[in-house]
Amino acid sequence: MRTKLVIGLLVGASLSGCDVVTAISNGVLSPITPEQSKAQVLAAAGELVGVLHLPVVEAYFWHEACRDEGGGPFRGAMRIAYPLAPSFEASDTEVSKMVAALQRVGWSGDPNFHSHGSVLTKHDVTVDFAPQNVGTPTRDVELLGECRDVTTNKSDSQTEAITFN
């Protein structure tokens, strides 16, 4: 049975056009490029900002390792800062309304992602609305793409400012 699984993985990886050794060594059967991992997260961020009419204070994109030790595969990641609400209660109410608005356009809860915030997912991108914090000047929403980028490495991970029109 194990031999059939390995053969199936090799055939699937080779048919997808990816480097079989890299795909299996990183546990990724359908790798994506750094550009694709960035596009995946930026598309989700654009939808989020547009649907919510989110007043963006600042936004940054980077590639991050999916493993604790910092190795690949990598994924696209983004942090969007937006203004604080007048109170924690007001923030909770605003985030609940934002979650409901995103659910109306196809976002759904992600029971496998553990956070203190409100978490949604769509097209394999996870969005995490962090709770308002007294120690920060803004609130944050973090977007995380799929762990399928096997060509980025630690030294490639640069933070890039993103603007929305």
Share of the chain above pLDDT 90, in %: 64
List the structure tokens of 107.
Answer: 């976002």
Q: What angle (nearest 5°) sits at the alpha carbon of residue 114, between those of residues 95 and 86?
A: 25
pLDDT in tens, 58-100: 999 999 998 887 778 999 999 999 999 999 999 999 999 999 9
> For residue 40, what are the CA distances in angstroms to 34, 84, 126, 148?
10, 27, 11, 11
pLDDT in tens, 10-32: 444 444 444 444 444 457 889 99
Contact 76, 123 (CB under 8 A): no
Taking every pair of Cα atoms in the chain, the longest distance, rounded to a whole number of angstroms, is: 60
Q: What is the pTM of this model?
A: 0.80
pLDDT at residue 116 is higher than 70: yes
